Amino acid sequence: MNADASSPAAPKPAARRKTTAPKDAQFQVAVIGAGFSGLCMAIQLKLAKINSFVVFEKADDIGGTWRDNLYPGCACDVPSHLYSYSFEPNPNWSRMFAPQQEIWDYLRHCGRKYGVTEHMRFNAEVASAAFDTDHHYWRVMLKSGETVTAKIVVSGIGALSIPAYPKLPGIENFKGTAFHSARWRNDYDFDGKRVAVIGTGASAIQFVPAIAPRVKHLDLYQRTPPWVISKPDRRMTAVEKTLFKFLPATQKLFRGGIYWWMESRVLGLAVDPRAMKLAELYARLYINRCIKDPKLRRKVTPDYTLGCKRILMSDEYYPALTRDNVDVITTGIREVTARGLITEDGVERPADAIIYGTGFQVSDPIGPMKIVGAEGKEVRETWKDSGMEAYLGVSVSGFPNFFLLLGPNTGLGHTSIVFMIEAQVNYVMQAIKTLTKHRLRSLDVKPEVQARFNTKLQKRLDEAVWSAGGCKSWYLDEFGKNRTLWPSFTFEYWMRTRNFEARKYDFEYRRG
Ligand code: NAP
C-alpha cells in the first residue's frame, strides 16, 4: 500500500453528516458474476482470508463467456499461456490457442482449487443494488425478490453476455431454425442444410469454417469485412508441457515472451496508426495467398485501417469462403421471409437455418441491473449526458464501495483481458484493505478525479486507430466516443492500479 493509502486526507465536509448507528451487513463483499473477472475476485478474497463474501451468478455454472459460447470452432484468439491467471499457470494447455472447453474446464478447476465454488450462488440473478446511506452498505436485490446486504459490491458481469439480434423486417416470420452464435443449438443437424449466417465478426470466422464442410450451402451475409490474419496456432509439444510442469520458470518466460509480442501491437493501435501500414500489407498478402478469385478478394478486403475493428485470426476462414458451397453476400439484407432472406437487390435466397453471428449488446458494464448510488441516482442516469465514465474503469463517483471489473475503457483490442482483470482485482483488494485498516465506512472516488482522468483518456483515444481508422465498431458509443478500450500499453494500466490511491477518494469513518 502506498503512503497515500496509509494516511487518508481529511474527510470532505458532506461526509461528516450524522448518520444512524451502523448495522452490520450480511456479507463484507458481494461479487456479481462468476466469469473470468468475478472468479478472480473471489479467489483473491479467499487468498486474503476474507471469507465473508458471496458470488451471485445468474447461470448454473462458473465460466461466463466460456460457458455460454459453445459454437463449433470456439477458441480463444489470445494465446492461452497469457489468457489465464498469472497465479494459476496451466502447463497442460493442448494448443497455443486453447479451445473453449479447455478454458471452461480451467475456470472450473480454479473455482474448486481455491475453494470459492462454495461461496457461489448459482441461478441467482441480481436485479438491482442500492446504497443505503444510513447503514453504509448495499442492498442487493435478486430477481427472485430476495434482498442481501453487503458492505462492498464488485460487479464482474462482463460486457459481452447479452446476444444482439439484427432488427430486420420480417425476422419473426422465418419458419426455419434460427439461433444466435452465443446460444448455439448443438441438437441442430447441419448435414445437407442451406444455412444463412449473418455477421462476419470474431465468432462467425470461427464457426463458419467448422460448419461449411457439413452444410449443403452456406450464404454468409457480410456488412463490413473484418481484417483477418493468419493464426500462429499449433499443438503444444510433450517436451514443452513437461518443461512447464517441472520447471515453472520456463512457462513464465514463455508467458512473458507472448506478453511483449502482443503488447508491441499498441504501437500501431494507439501510438501511431501509420505504423499499421506494414501489418496491413502483410494482411493483404495473406488475403491474396488464400483467395485467388479477384471478385471474392475485393469483397473481403476492408477499406479501413487494420486495427480499427478487432484484428481477427484464422487460417481456416478465407479457405472456407473459397468453397463451392459458400457464397459471400455483400448486398444489404432487405427483409426476412418465411423461407429465407431477401437482399436490397430483390434476390431471395432460401435458408433452412439462420445463424446470427451478430455480436452482443454492448451498452455498459452494468447490463440490465439497476445500480442506485448514494444520492439516489441510478448509475445509468449519471452517464446519460457524458457517456459511461469511471476512474480507472473501476470506481464511479457517487457510488461508494462499489467497484466495476472490466468497466469503462478497460477493454482491449490487442492482448489478454485477464491481465487487466488481475490489475483491477488487485486494486479493489487494496481498497477493501484500506476500508478495513482505517475503519472506514465508505470510499467514494472524487468527482473531479474521475472527470480529469476521463478528459485525458478521451484526448488520447481521439488519435487512436479505433476513432481515426475509418470504421464503425462497437468500441464507440452513440456520441462516437470510445468508452470501451484502454488507450495504451497494459503495463501502464498495471502501474496505475498497482497502489490504491486513497487521496483520490472521499471517505467516511466508522463511529464507535
Ligand atoms: P462482433 O464482433 O460484434 O461481430 C458482429 C458481426 O455481425 C459484424 O460482422 C457485424 O457487422 C455483423 N452485424 C451486426 N448487426 C448486423 C446487421 N443488422 N446486419 C448485418 N450484419 C450485422 O460479434 P462477435 O463475432 O460475436 O464477437 C464479439 C466480441 O466477442 C469480439 O469483438 C471479441 O471481443 C469477442 N470474441 C472473442 C473471441 C476470442 O477468441 N477471444 C471469439 C469470439 C468473440 P459490422 O462489422 O458491419 O457491424
Note the pLDDT tens digit of each residue in 366-418.
Answer: 888 999 999 999 999 999 887 899 999 999 999 999 999 999 999 998 999 99
* Average pLDDT of the residues of the chain: 92
For cell 452498505, the residue is 137
Output the pTM of the full model.
Answer: 0.92
Cα 28-31-35 angle, rounded to 5 deg: 155
Average pLDDT over residues 415-428: 98
Mutate to test the pocket of ligand 1, among 95, 358, 360 (most ligand atoms within 8 A of CB): 358
**pLDDT tier at 12, thresholds 50, 70, 90:** very low
CA-to-CA dists, residue 228 to 81, 161, 207, 362, angstroms: 22, 24, 14, 22
For cell 480499427, the residue is 308
pLDDT attached to residue 366: 86
> Ligand 1 centroid vs 472 CA: distance in angstroms?
12
Q: Is the pLDDT of residue 19 over 70?
A: no
Query: Residue 172: exposed, middle, or buried by beta-carbon count in 10 A (0-12, 13-18, 19+)?
Result: exposed
* 429-450 residue pLDDT tens: 999 999 999 999 999 999 999 9
Cβ contact 28:151 at 8 Å: yes
Radius of gyration (Cα) for the chain, nearest Å? 24
For cell 488519435, the residue is 463
Pocket of ligand 1 (CB under 6 A): 76-78, 160, 166, 181, 198-204, 221, 223-224, 310, 357-360, 474
Q: Is the pLDDT of residue 8 over 50?
A: no
> Ligand 1 centroid vs 336 CA: distance in angstroms?
20
**271/263 Cα distance (integer angstroms):** 12
Q: Is the pLDDT of residue 164 over 80?
A: yes
pLDDT attached to residue 22: 42
Joined grid coordinates for residue 64: 461466463
pLDDT attached to residue 59: 96
CA-to-CA dists, residue 298 to 17, 200, 286, 287, 292, angstroms: 66, 15, 13, 10, 11
Average pLDDT over residues 48-73: 97
Strands (DSSP E) found in 344-428: 348-350, 353-356, 370-372, 402-404
* 240-266 residue pLDDT tens: 999 999 999 999 999 999 999 999 988
Q: Is the pLDDT of residue 14 over 70?
A: no
pLDDT attached to residue 271: 78
Helix (H, G, I), strand (E, B) or coil at 194: strand
HEC sequence for 227-246: CEECCCCCECCHHHHHHHHH
Cβ contact 129:371 at 8 Å: yes
Cβ contact 322:296 at 8 Å: yes
Phi and psi, residue 508, nearest 5°: -130, 135
CB atoms within 10 A of CB 496: 14
**pLDDT tier at 363, thresholds 50, 70, 90:** low
pLDDT attached to residue 194: 98
**pLDDT tier at 473, thresholds 50, 70, 90:** confident
**pLDDT tier at 10, thresholds 50, 70, 90:** very low
pLDDT attached to residue 23: 65
Phi and psi, residue 382, nearest 5°: -70, -20
Cβ contact 250:447 at 8 Å: no
Give the number of the atom of ligand 1 that is nearest the alpha carbon of residue 411: 34
Average pLDDT over residues 10-29: 56
Average pLDDT over residues 129-143: 96
pLDDT attached to residue 474: 85
CB atoms within 10 A of CB 338: 9
Give the number of the atom of ligand 1 that is nearest the alpha carbon of residue 77: 40
**pLDDT tier at 477, thresholds 50, 70, 90:** confident
**pLDDT tier at 18, thresholds 50, 70, 90:** very low
Cβ contact 57:122 at 8 Å: yes
Which residue lies with its CA nearest to atom 12 of ligand 1? 199
**234/98 Cα distance (integer angstroms):** 10
